[in-house]
Structure 1
Amino acid sequence: MATSAQRRQEIAAGVWDDLLRTLYGSSEAVLARQRARWCAALTDFERYFGPGRQVHLYTAPGRAELGGNHTDHQHGYGLAAAVNLDLVGVVARNEDNYIRVKSWGFNKLDVVDLDEPNPQASESTHSASLIRGLAEGFRTQGKQVGGYDAYTTSDVLRGSGLSSSAAFEMAMGAMMNEEFDCGLTPIQVARLGQYAENIYFGKPSGMLDQLASALGGVIFADFEDPALPRVEKLRAKGQMPDGMVLCVTDTRGSHSELTAEFAAIRHEMEAVAACFGCNVLGEVREAEFWARLPEVRAACGDRACLRAMHFFEENARTLAEDRALRAGQFGRFLHLVGESGHASFALCQNVYCASTPARQELSVALALSQHLLEGTGGAWRMQGGGFAGTIQAFVPRECLERYCAAMEGVFGPGSCHLLTLREQGAGRVL
């Protein structure tokens, strides 16, 4: 263990370049940027919490949803990959039983008194609620978490569909787990992240995002039993052909204030499930749904029925995508990606908010992607919860310059990001 100043000197001198290469790639420009970023995080930690303290450094990746849009919370399948955009955290333990977290870009300090385990109304939908919920989650597992001071900086696009919230949750969860020797598995920590998000933050999310950030790589998850999901990790290396690049375009419309829209998808799907005496659509036989469609329409309305259709289609498609990747059939995988994108428009209806039809950033980005990539062998889809944020596109390398220029011409400089898949999940790295 070293002080913040010692770690900063080592990183600036290139001592930890091999570590940075495993996380971000070998480009010298990228290495220089990450050295500067990590050094700045250590400097800012000192600014808020004082110099001379012994620290650890953590990282937690964002994720790209590859398949399974709004299927995990219905006990279906999910397919996702950790990416090179990540959260970096500097942490030092304290002795006063408070967790204090300062995050770059936010004009507040989260202060959580660990003697108060219950959800606080003033923290709902704020990051402090996630910290408190995680700490209480550890306690429910018989693990005692103490106080710490942390500074975080994240390049996971906030409110974008790359799951900046899961990266934050898994960074905090890793800090609690490793600083206090709790010994939970990454899957257990991911489950506590979902608990904090559902109960303390107030967002009825599934667990796919947390699993991808916690485990790294490409993961396929079966949520038939959400308390014990069956998770298989595919190595990130080799999943993306050399001639194809994964791009995400930030349409500059944040979905961070759209919790009610996300919740409506889950509530409507579960209303349909209730017609069959079930809690979630994963428990409903698809053939029975189609046979009783007139009755379900009358009880739940058309949008709920369309979203149920989306679940059944998307769930089967996600399983097919997983099989295509395992078989090395990337063309087949891309065809399924395109089908998923169309289903978001027609069935799930989470590409834009019906209450604000003049704002359709995702729709424009998807239409432009179709104009640019149709017939090239590429594919495009919305990702994440939807309604705003980012789209993803698999772009042939020969089309990359034209594609990025066109997207940034509409959505602004720096809006198109080239991603690489990342093998490492959330955890302590120094």
Structure 2
Amino acid sequence: MRKLPTKLFTELYGDDKKEIERQKNRYSQLVSEFAKRYTVPADDSSIRLFSSPGRTEICGNHTDHNFGKVIGASIQLDCIGAVQPTNDTIVTIHDLTYNEDYSIDTLDTERRLDESGSQALVRGIIQGFKKAGYKVTGFNSCFSSEVIAAAGVSSSASFEMIICIIIDALFNGNTIPVTQFAAIGQYSENKYWDKASGQLDQMSCAVGGMIHIDFENPTKPLVTKVPFDFAKENYNLMLVNTGKGHADLSAEYSSIPDEMKSVAKEFGKSTLRGLEYTDIFAKLPELRTKCGDRAVLRSLHFIEESNRSDHVATALKTNDFAQFLQLITDSGNSSWKWLQNISVPGYPEEQPIAICLALTEVFIRSKKHGACRVHGGGFAGVIAAFLPKDYVAEYTSYMEKALDWKEGSTKHNPVYKLSIRPYGCIEIK
């Protein structure tokens, strides 16, 4: 049995001894599964271990697609992999979490229209590395993920980044900047998934810790570390999965960048980046007539939220935690009132985000501490709450009851306590 690094595991997963032991067992089980699947000894030193975190959005709701500013962070929930290089050109993937098995020849990486899911992503990532001039050849792998799917913590980007760190470590001598990983992940999603994504998710998973991202140059975003530890303030970040709902949200998600860009077009621009509140105000009657009130409100949200991301970074760097909580509250209010991504028009009977935000606001008001906001895309899905540690257990029970979740249920617990880990995608040594 290989010895796993306790100090590193404490940094990745916290200082709870039971949790560290659970994580070590998780890695050991993954290695055992790898050994069984590929018929190699479990103590083979050429089996290498990797971890890639999920991510959380701290501030900057729906600003990246108009080249704005965001605060993101890597979290302790991660995808882990056991990997061994081979002597051929075949990449073999076995995913324990999603029960997937497939192989890709690194000499055959053109897009296949009949291919989807993670297989298409991996093929696109390999092609992205090759196009950038990097070496890629064969390896065997097993993966297991605790990054919650469809919960706004970027399970797909986490998987993309673990593939990237594996290719860098195995074949390129750890020479590739992690910002390049994010660009390659974006390339794969854009070209092999037809998903018009930016680099927010990938960058937050790849870099590690809390980061301020400026997307003024979207192909090379400016990334700045924001050194801060919520645990030292005795606060936890909580996520609540409010439920999916039944509406198809594709049109709602695309309406946000489309409406923002319709306003930008009136200024001869392709995005809102560079516009100020005074610019919008100066043309307000004309913009309301041509673009509609919601488009104007969403554009004002973009301007204010991008600026707010700067203010959040400053508050954290100067340890002004009270100001940080106020800014998070302001961000949540802006998403609800201005951006309007809390509920789906035409579905008044289904408003899970609004219900959970309302309940959380009542809880925070009763305790006189904390802040909450929608997390990620909105309309359905996840909210975030920043709460003192002393209230976490009570809040968890409160929201479990509100969402009718009981111990022993076959459904996932909808309430998650997160911590921000200091490392992005890494090899476990």
Same-fold call, TM > 0.5? yes
Letter in 2 for 1:208: L
Between the aligned partners of 1:98 and 1:273, the Cα distance in structure 2 is 46
240 and 282 in structure 1: CA distance in 2 versus 1, 3 angstrom threshold = farther
**Other-structure match for 2:340:** 349
**Other-structure match for 2:144:** 153
293 and 47 in structure 1: CA distance in 2 versus 1, 3 angstrom threshold = farther
Conserved 8 A contact 2:276-2:303? no
5+ long unaligned stretches in structure 1: 1-8
Displacement of 1:355: 5.2
Q: 2:180 aligned with 1:191, yes or no?
A: no
**Other-structure match for 2:200:** 208
**Other-structure match for 1:369:** 360
255 and 199 in structure 1: CA distance in 2 versus 1, 3 angstrom threshold = farther
Letter in 1 for 2:324: F
Between the aligned partners of 1:255 and 1:152, the Cα distance in structure 2 is 31
2:306 equivalent among 315, 326, 336: 315
Structural RMSD (CA): 2.3
1:333 equivalent among 312, 324, 327: 324
Equivalenced residue count is 417
**Other-structure match for 1:3:** none
- TM-score between the two structures when normalised by the length of structure 2: 0.90
Post-superposition Cα deviations, 1:159-201, rounded to whole Å, max 9, x if no partner, equal: 1111112211111111112111162101111121122222222
Q: 2:45 aligned with 1:51, yes or no?
A: no
Conserved 8 A contact 1:278-1:284? no
Q: 2:54 aligned with 1:66, yes or no?
A: no
Letter in 2 for 1:31: I
Letter in 2 for 1:75: F
Letter in 1 for 2:179: I
2:113 equivalent among 113, 116, 121: 121
Conserved 8 A contact 1:81-1:217? yes
33 and 256 in structure 1: CA distance in 2 versus 1, 3 angstrom threshold = farther
Q: 2:161 aligned with 1:170, yes or no?
A: yes
**Other-structure match for 2:410:** none
Q: 2:29 aligned with 1:40, yes or no?
A: yes
129 and 356 in structure 1: CA distance in 2 versus 1, 3 angstrom threshold = farther
386 and 325 in structure 1: CA distance in 2 versus 1, 3 angstrom threshold = same
5+ long unaligned stretches in structure 2: 407-412
Post-superposition Cα deviations, 1:312-365, rounded to whole Å, max 9, x if no partner, equal: 111111111111111111111111101111111222222233354433222221
- TM-score between the two structures when normalised by the length of structure 1: 0.90
SS at 2:151's partner residue?
Answer: coil
Displacement of 1:257: 7.8
**Other-structure match for 1:4:** none
Conserved 8 A contact 2:230-2:236? no
Between the aligned partners of 1:387 and 1:311, the Cα distance in structure 2 is 17
SS at 1:281's partner residue?
Answer: coil
Letter in 1 for 2:282: A
Between the aligned partners of 2:208 and 2:108, the Cα distance in structure 1 is 32
Post-superposition Cα deviations, 1:28-49, rounded to whole Å, max 9, x if no partner, equal: 1101211221122223323443
Between the aligned partners of 1:382 and 1:217, the Cα distance in structure 2 is 21
Displacement of 1:394: 0.9
**Other-structure match for 1:23:** 12
Post-superposition Cα deviations, 1:238-286, rounded to whole Å, max 9, x if no partner, equal: 3554332211122243899855543332232223222222121114344
Q: 2:294 aligned with 1:295, yes or no?
A: no
Letter in 2 for 1:192: I
Q: 2:279 aligned with 1:280, yes or no?
A: no
68 and 272 in structure 1: CA distance in 2 versus 1, 3 angstrom threshold = same
Conserved 8 A contact 1:76-1:222? yes
